[in-house]
Structure 1
Amino acid sequence: MSRQQRDALDALLRSAPRSETPPTLEEQRSGFTAAVTRPVPQGVVTHRTVLGGRPTLELEPAAVSGRGRLLYLHGGGYVIGSPETHAGMVGELARRAGLRAMSVDYRLAPEHPFPAAVDDGLAAYRELLAMGAGPQDLVMAGDSAGGGLTIATLLAAREAGLPQPAAVVVFSPWVDLTLAGGSIRSKEGVDPIFTAADIRAYADLYVGTGDRAHPLASPVFADLTGLPPLLVQVGANEVLLDDAVRLAARAGADDVEVTLEVGPGLPHVFQHHYGRLDEADAALDRAARFLATHLGADRLEPVR
């Protein structure tokens, strides 16, 4: 990252003023939508559909390679966000991988607390299989809370006796709702987006007084045996750094093929900054190649 890019990104991330009065839930949701949403890439067509009983945004690149499908679960602390807020980044990942993508509008807390989101992720995955998609033609991805939800969905699928997909990618996954990772404290002054209090507030809304160490809420404490090849990407400048590092370690200990990438000087879900940050474009290219390779398209060159 050039100094100019670093300064511009830091200014962008720190530009939102923090009020002494906590924003309402509606203000959080509308503010997130305004800050994060980017246009769907050119050459990617979107369709609204339903998957697993939930509204779903289907994104189809002009150049689709084979029968592969990507099931995507968006971030937002289980409280905010939608397929629309993430359509730009998901469209970029789908375009570069040459995959049709399905981005699920799973139910959000606090209206629908844990395990509603997991139930929706599992229902979507189950329906893709029921529609005739072979597990070898399916991959999954998610960011932040959606990254944790992606892992939880795979655990729920395993427990339900369903086959695992070909591969999974997670960006800055939130996988420990107990906030036990050391970076929750050590990176708080460095992270330009979140504080420990922010993360704790999302956990309060999602789990409430429930068990925050439950493996479907905090997959870092789960037995990950049998999960598919996993790529974890995370920025070094984020309070959730240790979530990603410990997830990769847990996967490795459970004999899962895992690749961990830590981006120096980068913030939470830096992939959102594709087109204006070189590291974001490179990370999306690597994620696209990882998914395509495990689908058997190992000759695929990422589309730029």
Structure 2
Amino acid sequence: MPVACGRLIADGVEAEWLTPRDASVGMAILYFHGGGFRMGSVTSHRDLIARFADASRCAVLAINYRLAPEYRFPAALDDALAAYGFLLDQGFKPDGIALAGDSAGGNLALALMLALRDRGQPLPAAAVLMSPWTDLAATGASYQSRAEADPIHQRKMILALAKDYLGEDGDPRHPLASPLYADLAGLPPLLIQVGDRETVRDDSVMFAQKAEAAGVDVALEVFAGMIHVFQMFPEIPQARDAIASAGGFLRKHLHIRAGEAAQ
């Protein structure tokens, strides 16, 4: 998997380009890593992002947005807006940009699109969201029904991460902090992938239902037996299938044709 990596500062934000050998001209994916807004980095997610770039045949700009509790909401969103503006300044067109993210990064991808829409700015072509954390109030029934099956997240932990991100008096139902509570009309096509064992499963299911009701073109893929962001484990067949599906979705919406590569 030949993917070149290069670090840079994107309008004040630490970032890294991950570019596959056959990357298409004029297309970019802006990627946001997960980690509950408190941990994670491009380094921790580099392998996943590289496989994402390879599957989509597209260069990926991944950013190290500021983390809580030192930098609380909306610092991460401000960094996402800056990175998107950087891509536009570099000559990328909105219909040649897609977003992607896992867990808190999926939240951030959605918040970025909502903020752009509310500001009357052009939206990207599409977004892929892996186990997106859309509800910082953690109201989904899966927090109870999947509690014994999920080896990673329990509701108490999720609420503690939310408090770190929002601050003591922050509103977990703020639409740019919890996209589940936003007006979703006008968002571009979305692909949402989630594992059925996740306590956070219903963050995806409820969001997909609400997005569809708002007229958004949304596809939800629920993977039986899978845990949170299972795509990080390439040895799992379902992870390979999910990345392949995401790559196909992005190539479709970025209009990347077979064999199209950088000149």
Normalised by the shorter chain, which TM-score bucket? over 0.9
Partner Cα distance (2:49, 2:259) in 1: 18
Q: Which runs of structure 2 are paired with 1:157-196 in the superposition (5 Å)?
A: 157-196=116-155
Q: Partner residue of 1:257? A: 217
Q: Partner residue of 1:16? A: none
Q: Give 1:90 shift.
A: 0.5
Q: Contact 2:163–2:170 (CA<8 Å) still a contact in 1?
A: no
Partner Cα distance (2:80, 2:146) in 1: 30
Opposite residue 52 of structure 2, the aligned amino acid is L
Opposite residue 268 of structure 1, the aligned amino acid is H
SS of 2:106's partner is: helix
Match of 1:90 among 32, 49, 73: 49
Q: Partner residue of 2:238? A: 279
What RMSD over aligned residues (CA atoms) do the two structures have, in Å? Answer: 1.2
Partner Cα distance (1:212, 1:133) in 2: 34
SS of 1:109's partner is: coil
Partner Cα distance (2:89, 2:30) in 1: 14
Q: Give 1:297 shift.
A: 2.2
Q: Partner residue of 1:297? A: 256
SS of 1:126's partner is: helix
Partner Cα distance (2:177, 2:142) in 1: 19
Match of 2:193 among 209, 216, 233: 233
Identity %, equivalent residues: 44
Quick check: 1:141 aligned with 2:100? yes
Q: Give 1:299 shift.
A: 4.1
Q: Give 1:257 shift.
A: 0.3
Opposite residue 50 of structure 2, the aligned amino acid is G
Bigger Cα Rg? 1
CA-to-aligned-CA distance 1:129-186 (integer Å, 9 cap, x gap): 1221101110000000100111001111112221111110000000100111111121
Opposite residue 50 of structure 1, the aligned amino acid is I
> Structure 1: which 4+ aligned runs deviate by more than 3 Å?
298-301
CA-to-aligned-CA distance 1:261-280 (integer Å, 9 cap, x gap): 00001000010011x10000
Q: Give 1:66 shift.
A: 3.0
Q: Partner residue of 1:218? A: 178
CA-to-aligned-CA distance 1:77-128 (integer Å, 9 cap, x gap): 0000001111100100101111110001000000000111111111111221
Q: Partner residue of 1:25? A: none
Opposite residue 53 of structure 1, the aligned amino acid is G
Partner Cα distance (2:239, 2:259) in 1: 19
Q: Contact 1:52–1:125 (CA<8 Å) still a contact in 2?
A: no
Q: Which runs of 5+ in 1 are unaligned?
A: 1-41
SS of 2:194's partner is: strand
Match of 2:109 among 150, 153, 165: 150
Q: Contact 1:289–1:298 (CA<8 Å) still a contact in 2?
A: no
TM-score w.r.t. structure 1 length? 0.83
Q: Give 1:52 shift.
A: 3.0
SS of 2:222's partner is: strand
Q: Which runs of 5+ in 2 are unaligned?
A: none
Partner Cα distance (2:136, 2:8) in 1: 31
SS of 2:67's partner is: coil
TM-score w.r.t. structure 2 length? 0.96
Higher RCO, 1 vs 2 (CA within 8 Å, ≥6 residues apart): 2
Q: Partner residue of 1:111? A: 70
Partner Cα distance (2:186, 2:94) in 1: 14
Q: Partner residue of 2:205? A: 245
